[in-house]
Amino acid sequence: MADRTPCINPICRRTFKRQHDNEEIVCGKCFRTLPEATRKEHRRCWREYRKWDRRIKRTVDVLKAQRMHEIRDRWGAMISGHWDGQIKPFFLAPEKPVGLDSFLEEMRL
């Protein structure tokens, strides 16, 4: 399965065609399990990133393009930070173990 990338949710078994090395993907079904505010923020960041990418392609002024690259790179950093700080921990956070400790905690002993 070297040519496939799994969803970052360890419970999910979906895989995707590998396009880049060190690639991480969350499938659509798992993405919809995220809190709505997290999804909206992630989509907003991607929308802004793509907007600045389109503007860079249209401009011919080198100085403007350089400034736009800086803005786009800031949005890219925000996407990376949101991915590492909000999305990955949601799926990779360890669940409480099922057993005596959780039972005693439920019984408040």
Q: Find out whether 88 and 79 touch, Cβ atoms under 8 Å.
A: no
Residue 46 has pLDDT above 90, yes or no: yes
Biggest CA pair distance of the chain: 70
Identify the domain containing residue 22 by its residue range: 1-33
Residues 13, 56 within the same domain: no
pLDDT in tens, 67-87: 999 999 999 999 999 999 999
Confidence at residue 80, expressed as pLDDT on a 0 to 100 scale:
94
> pTM of the predicted model, to two decimals?
0.76
88 shares a domain with 57:
yes
The reply to whether 107 falls in a domain is no
Tell whether 14 and 61 lie within a shared domain: no
Claim to verify: residue 53 and residue 29 sit in the same structural domain: no
Residues 64 and 74 in one domain: yes
Distant-in-sequence, close-in-space partners of 25: CB < 8 Å, separation ≥ 6: 5, 6, 7, 8, 16
